[in-house]
Amino acid sequence: MRKAIHILLTGVAIVMTMVGCSTQKNTGNTRWWHSFNARYNTFFNGSQAFIDGNLEKEKGNKDNYTELIPLYAVGNKASRDIGKGQYDLTIEKCSKAIKQHSIKVKPAWNGSKQKTAKDREWLGRREYNPFLWKVWLLMGKAQFQQGAFDEAAATFSYMSRLYQTQPLQNGLARAWLAKCYTELGWMYDAEDVIRNMNRDSMDFRAVKDWDYTYANYFIRHQEYQKALPYLHKVIKHERRRIQRAREWFLMGQIQHLLGNREQAYKAFEKVVGCHPPYELEFNARIAQTEVMAEGTNVHQMISRLKRMAASENNTDYLDQIYYAIGNIYLTQRDTTQAINAYEDGALLSVKNGIEKGVLLLSLGDLYWDKERFSDAQRCYGEAIGLLDKDHTGYEELSYRSKVLDELVPYTEAIQLQDSLLALADMPEAKRLEVIDRVIDNLRKKEEKERKEQAMAEVEQQRQQEDGLLPNTMLPTTPTSGNGQWYFYNPVAVSQGKTAFLRQWGARKNIDNWQRVNQTVVAVPSPSEDPEEAFSDSLEDTGLSDEIEESSLNTSNPHQRDYYLAQIPFSEEQKKNSHDILKDALLHAGIIFKDKLDRSASSPHLSRHLHLSEDMLTRLTEDYQDDKRIAEAWYHLYLLYARQNRQQQADNCISRLQHDFPENEWTLLLSDPDYAINAKFGEHIEDSLYAATYEAFKNNQSEIVRANVQLSADRFPLGDNRAKFIFIDGLSRLNEGDRDGCASQLKLVVERYPDSEVTSLSGMILKGIQEGRTPYGNLFEMSDIWTRRSTDLAEDSTGTATLSDERNQHFLFILIYQPDSVNANQLLFEMARYNFSNFLVRNFEILQMPLAGDRAGAWQQMQISGFLNYDEALQYAQQLYADNTMSTRLSPCRSLIISEVNLSLIGTRYSYDDYMQFYEKTFLPMKISEEKLLILPETIEQPDIEETEPSPTPTRTDDGIQPDNNQRKQQVQDFDFGDDFW
């Protein structure tokens, strides 16, 4: 009986304790109870999900060992989505723990007791649940591992303020905040956090996290010498074997960059000693051979790599092995052997991954240095589809690939036509000997390819029998996997281009491009049936068999006739060949001069200029009666002027004035202001255009007309010429000269198809041709707010109108110009503000171009998640009541609009139309006095009946609510603004 009573009393005590443990009370019992529940309920489940996510990321992470690997696996963009589901669960559990167990109520204090410094710190805290800081830390780490660095930064920033008086919690939060800034690339912000953290006052339990922070910061900041001691400490702290192996590999890479080859070799040896996954171990062994390449055992290293290539375990890594062999040869300055090794690696590669892309990039650079541009184009064209856009050399690779795509058809045309003309002048016996040699080489090449194909098929069959491959092989061409169009996938386009060039060679974009000799194609009479006419002609002459046999021979590259058919024997054929030569020499010379050396500060400024000089000089000497000579002399003048060869430059002007006195290039060089224009012309033209645009805005048509004429006289080939004509057309339109405007805009569209104002010119021209008039009878280019695509007066069929429904989804929109606002910083600040102030609401943030702004001068940031107009307005009022946020948002304009109404902006209605509608419809509404944004989204808000606005102020939870006129002015101050519209 006593035992039963004891159990009953214990149960009653527990129930009473649970009932009394509210977050609105701050006692020892409530703190213990909520700490216990947060730890062993929600936090435990979240931490288990976090561990599972980390294990999943560790197994699925793929590093690019050809570059400096990141300290954290999340630094690889491809690895950020790994474990996302587990991290989402962690964040959900942590948010729930914070919501249910946060204690912010101040504890009771005996006023008669004297406060010590420790007491004041205790009473000044903002969170009293002693365990909740671990929940905040875990949530931030989960966001960090997700790759949501901006959200994680907001979490850790809030945590550092929440635990400002507690050294351990504050130190950990700031350590992770600096990591987030580093991963975001905000190095100044990361440096500011690090600088303000005094190491002497750091809690000893936060030192480990700060070692990681310092190491990551110095590595990303490329201060490798400073990173080494912290990276050593990080390795000592690390308990995960795979991660420790990654850190040793990173150590070896850094030591190699610093020139410490022996230390790098030892670091890579440590990687092998950690027994990591085979790919990491293999790359460590490859790296060891590279750091030892300058020693005395070069041949031994190459032999070791070739033994690795012979191993069946390394079939997937042959490109990396031969890349390492090539690198060893390069250290010995044996470029021929290096090229052979790289070519073997590219040929034997089976993965078509980043490693092959790096190999092809290095091979292309070698060919580029040797001026073998056709081979360089082949390598660059394939490499650009294998490397990520964030790769260190991607920008230069992309530029070179585009230049070579333009250059190589001309250089190959020069080589081909020179060869054909030389063959035409050879004695027949020698000519046939050369052709037979080409046929013999072709057969050897095809035989080699057949053997390699047979070996590949045998290997594929073996792997299928071993269960390593499915019976149906998948295509090796990587695809985006997101259903995007083929031509939006640079990888697919690049590989398709390479395959086309390999099969067909460089062909012009013309009809019947497949035919080698297009002069044999006869065009029948329109009245005749082509097939019937052709067959009849053969039957009549009795030559059908001979022609069929001849046709087969001329299409078979293993027959002499195939090559003889391409040699220009007749005078007409030789003339066509020389025409191709002249065109190719001119264009190749210009490209060599203007595009291969694109930077005036390049240390190799004159590296390819000699090739340009050779091409243009040959054109002027061999074809003096051709019309292209004047342009060739002009570009030779520019070439000599760039090299400060004044005598040769003056000679070019003399030849132009003597041989082509009325030519446009002669007139251009003879202009007395040419030297000034060449040196300062770009700045003068820009200033002239700025003055013209200002005159246009002020409706000063005479100044506009005079400046446009000055542009035509002094800068006929200037970069802004299309803009001058465009401004002139709009000025005529504002004066009522619709025909003159149409004529000028048509000129822009026809002569300058690539100009940035061409699309807008076409749109306005179409409107003029349809008889439409500008809004307000004047056209203002910057007036995006009054622009719409449909004229309401003309559109009698339109039924969609602006909605005055307040209980639907609304958006709060910030509108800004990208030049005046840091979009990434704005995104971070808004995310941090939302997270810090609205714990039960999750507002989505989306950045995009402003609707209707075809020129891309404006951007918008949409904040969504408001269930009605009242919530959106409360959010705007609270946001701009924050002085810090109000200052940061000063360059932005804001807008409150429903999703339904937003879909009509830019089509049937302009922003100006909506502003007038907003002031008339929404501003007079009385909004709810309840604080709606602290309520979860699942709680349905009752409809609030609209009442007549009261002329007297009413009291709300936040104080005095202004009347309608006051509220209208207040909203205009932070919302629209007259100058905005």
- pLDDT by residue (tens digit) across 668-726? 777 666 666 565 667 777 888 888 888 887 888 888 888 888 888 777 777 888 888 88
Mean pLDDT (whole number) for 234-261: 92
Tell me the residue ranges of DSSP E strands in 874-963: 893-898, 954-956, 959-961
Q: How far apart are CA 14 and CA 976, in angstroms?
A: 57
Picking from 665, 443, 448, the residue whose alpha carbon sits closest to that of residue 559 is 443
Cβ(250)–Cβ(68) below 8 Å? yes
Which of the four pLDDT bands, split at 50, 70 and 90, describes residue 852? Answer: low
Q: Residue 493 half-sphere exposure, CB side, CA atoms within 13 Å?
A: 8
Q: What is the Cα–Cα distance from 223 to 729, expressed in whole angstroms?
A: 55
Dist CA 632 CA 587 (whole Å): 9
Mean pLDDT of the region 802-808: 88
Measured CA to CA in angstroms, residue 372 lies from 365, 376, 604, 751 at distances of: 10, 6, 17, 36
pLDDT given at position 294: 54
Q: What's the pLDDT at 138?
A: 95
- Nearest-angstrom CA–CA distance, 369 and 333: 13
Q: Do 539 and 395 meet the contact criterion of CB atoms below 8 Å apart?
A: no
**Alpha-carbon distance 359 to 653, whole Å?**
47
H or E stretch at 861: strand 859-866
Residues of the chain with pLDDT > 90: what percent? Answer: 17
Question: What are the tens digits of pLDDT across the range 878-919?
Answer: 898 888 888 888 888 888 999 888 888 877 777 878 888 888
Question: How do beta strands 810-816 and 844-849 pair?
Answer: unpaired
H-run or E-run covering 848:
strand 844-849
| pLDDT for 948 | 38
pLDDT of 177 reads: 94
The pLDDT of residue 94 is above 90: yes
Determine contact, residues 338/301, Cβ cutoff 8 Å. no
**Which pLDDT does position 132 carry in this prediction?**
92
Would the pLDDT of 776 be above 50? Answer: no
Report the residue count for the chain. 981
3-state secondary structure of 859: strand
Q: Which one has a higher pLDDT value, 284 or 957?
A: 284
Distance CA 676, CA 684 (A): 10
Q: Alpha-carbon torsion 124, 127, 131, 135, what sign?
A: negative
> In whole numbers, what is the pLDDT of the chain averaged over residues?
77
Evaluate if residue 200 carries a pLDDT over 70.
no
Express as a percent the part of the chain with pLDDT over 70. 76
pLDDT band at 228 (very low <50, low <70, confident <90, very high): very high
Q: Are 94 and 46 in contact (CB under 8 A)?
A: yes
Reported for 691-694, long-range contacts at CB under 8 A and 24+ positions apart, including other chains, are: 692/724, 692/727, 693/727
Q: What angle do CA 182, 183, 189 make, to 5 degrees?
A: 30
Instruction: Decide: 349 and 319 in contact? Cβ < 8 Å.
Output: yes
pTM score above 0.85: no
Q: How far apart are CA 144 and CA 141, in angstroms?
A: 5
**Taking the alpha carbons of 459, 465, 467, 469 in that order, is the dihedral positive or negative?**
positive
Alpha-carbon separation of residue 121 from 101, 124, 240, 504 (angstroms): 21, 5, 38, 79
Residues 792-798: contacts with CB under 8 Å, at least 24 apart: 792/908, 792/909, 795/908, 798/908
Residue 98, token pair as written in the block: 């914070």
For the residues 463-482, what does the mean pLDDT come to? 47
pLDDT at 802: 87
Q: Which long-range contacts (CB under 8 A, 24 or more apart) does 192-197 make?
A: 197/171
pLDDT of residue 554: 64
User: Is 407:589 a contact under the CB 8 Å cutoff?
Assistant: no
Task: Give the pLDDT mean for 353-365.
Answer: 88
C-beta separation of 23 from 128 below 8 A: no
pLDDT of residue 142: 94
- Which residue has tokens 């997270």? 835
Please state, in angstroms and as integers, the Cα–Cα distance from residue 762 to each residue in 89, 750, 759, 766, 823, following that order.
52, 10, 5, 6, 31
In whole angstroms, give the CA distance from residue 20 to residue 33: 10
3-state SS, residue 955 = strand
C-alpha distance across the termini of the chain, in Å: 84
Asked which of 103-107, 253-257, 848-852, 924-928 is least confident by mean pLDDT, the reply is 848-852
Q: What is the mean pLDDT of residues 58-68?
A: 88
**pLDDT over 70 (residue 36):** yes
